[in-house]
């Protein structure tokens, strides 16, 4: 019998190049073709997205279901730059139904829901880094562009995972008694965990001077993610304040006060030192993140904005170093 020509018959180097071009949903459906293709797809997913499907450390009863739901929503719910609200809602209903079937009680305070929901949200939050719409976010560019394209519904946020989390929250609210506090607590826990992982990996590469390293790219996506969550009312301005002061500010390696050049000649001479160049890059990056967080809160709260909502700005520009910052905030809020 002649051997059938398939993708797996190609040299390893070509297979690696081809699979690098595939999105998560493509790899997931490739894994359904055969045992060999599943092994290839799972290894590629582990290498590209740091998702272990071959030998997971913790057995999760909903793991395959959640991954399959994200793959389905990404393939059938995203068209060019538009997100189908109907597909996202259908996927969320399916997930919520399976969560309810595995929960002994419809009371969110009873044990059972917290464990299952915790495992499901952990997978969903990590999937923000596999969303094929990250091309729309321009995360590869030095200047961050947080603009998004609208979906086909009024409630679409522009990020697939955020829309899925919002639809899942609404469906669980209809199935369980007051699951909102539990949902919010678990969601914040996994966001904080992702910030900690990024910070640890980023600081481990202090010897490398690269503005486009994977950690900075993922950090931009994570900032975009929490901004979309605020616009979707899944987190609050106080949550962003907490994230900025306790997690975001510690992502950066340098401090704004490390170099304070007094004149133009001293500023131009900083390029000769790698540490100074890293400081310049991080100052620009820090300001971009700061302005995006502030812009999101302002557009979300509009006429209800108060000084307490923007206190996280001091995590980036402490008043003892930049005393004019507080005056700037007060004058802005008074207008």
Query: What pLDDT is attached to residue 130?
Result: 87
- pLDDT tens digit sequence for 248-271: 989 988 877 776 555 444 544 444
Pull the structure tokens for residue 78.
């995203």
The H or E element containing residue 298 is helix 274-301
Query: What pLDDT is attached to residue 135?
Result: 36
Closest alpha carbon to 182 in 193, 197, 168, 164: 168
Closest alpha carbon to 148 in 249, 24, 285, 292: 292
Query: What pLDDT is attached to residue 212?
Result: 58
What SS3 string covers 199-260?
A: HHHHHCCCCCCCCCCHHHHHHHHHHHHHHHHHHCCCCCHHHHHHHHHHCHHHHCCCCCCCCC
- Cα–Cα distance measured from residue 308 to residue 306, given in angstroms and rounded to the nearest whole number: 5
Domain 1-57 sits in CATH at 1.20.1280
Query: What pLDDT is attached to residue 106?
Result: 66
CB 245 within 8 A of CB 193: no
Query: What pLDDT is attached to residue 274?
Result: 58
Query: What pLDDT is attached to residue 109?
Result: 63
- Cα–Cα distance measured from residue 80 to residue 254, given in angstroms and rounded to the nearest whole number: 38
Which residues, other chains included, contact 303 with Cβ-Cβ below 8 Å and sequence gap of 6+? none
Which residues, other chains included, contact 278 with Cβ-Cβ below 8 Å and sequence gap of 6+? 209, 253, 254
| Residues in the chain, pLDDT under 50 | 1-2, 134-144, 146-155, 263-265, 267-272, 303, 315, 317-335
Provide the strand spans (E) within the chain.
78-79, 82-83
Query: What pLDDT is attached to residue 139?
Result: 41
pTM of the model: 0.81
Query: What pLDDT is attached to residue 152?
Result: 40
Q: How many CB atoms lie within 10 A of CB 17?
A: 11
Phi and psi dihedrals of 177, rounded to 5? -90, 110
> Partners of 177 in the beta sheet?
107
| 235-242 CB contacts, 8 Å cutoff, 24+ apart | 235/184, 235/187, 235/188, 235/191, 237/297, 237/300, 237/301, 237/309, 238/308, 238/309, 239/188, 240/293, 240/296, 240/297, 240/312, 241/308, 241/309, 241/311, 241/312, 242/312
Closest alpha carbon to 170 in 82, 93, 65: 93
Query: What pLDDT is attached to residue 157?
Result: 57
Query: What pLDDT is attached to residue 254?
Result: 81
């Amino acid at each position: 019998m002649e051997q059938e020509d398939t993708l797996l018959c190609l040299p390893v180097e070509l297979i690696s190049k081809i699979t690098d071009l595939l999105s998560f949903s493509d790899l997931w459906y490739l894994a359904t073709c055969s045992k060999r293709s599943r092994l290839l797809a799972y290894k590629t997913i582990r290498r590209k997205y740091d998702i272990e499907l071959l030998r997971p450390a913790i057995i999760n009863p909903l793991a395959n279901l959640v991954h399959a739901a994200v793959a389905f929503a990404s393939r059938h719910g995203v068209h060019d730059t538009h997100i189908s609200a109907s597909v996202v809602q259908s996927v969320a209903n399916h997930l919520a139904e399976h969560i309810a079937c595995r929960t002994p009680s419809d009371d969110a305070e009873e044990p059972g829901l917290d464990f299952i929901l915790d495992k499901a949200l952990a997978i969903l939050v990590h999937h923000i880094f596999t969303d094929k719409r990250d091309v729309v976010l321009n995360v590869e560019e030095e200047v961050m562009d947080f603009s998004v394209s609208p979906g086909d519904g009024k409630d679409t946020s522009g990020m697939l995972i955020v829309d899925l989390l919002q639809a899942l929250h609404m469906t669980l609210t209809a199935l369980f008694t007051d699951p909102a506090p539990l949902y919010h607590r678990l969601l914040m826990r996994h966001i904080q965990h992702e910030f900690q992982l990024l910070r640890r990996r980023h600081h481990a590469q202090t010897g490398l001077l690269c503005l486009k390293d994977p950690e900075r790219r993922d950090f931009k996506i994570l900032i975009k993610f929490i901004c979309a969550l605020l616009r979707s009312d899944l987190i609050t301005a106080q949550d962003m304040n907490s994230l900025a002061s306790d997690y975001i500010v510690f992502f950066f390696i340098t401090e704004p006060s490390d170099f304070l050049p007094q004149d133009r000649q001293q500023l131009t001479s900083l390029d000769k030192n790698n540490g100074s160049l890293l400081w310049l890059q991080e100052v620009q990056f820090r300001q971009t993140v700061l302005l995006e967080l502030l812009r999101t809160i302002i557009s979300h709260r509009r006429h209800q904005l108060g000084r307490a909502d923007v206190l996280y700005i001091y995590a980036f520009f402490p008043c003892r170093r930049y005393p004019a910052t507080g005056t700037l905030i007060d004058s802005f809020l008074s207008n």
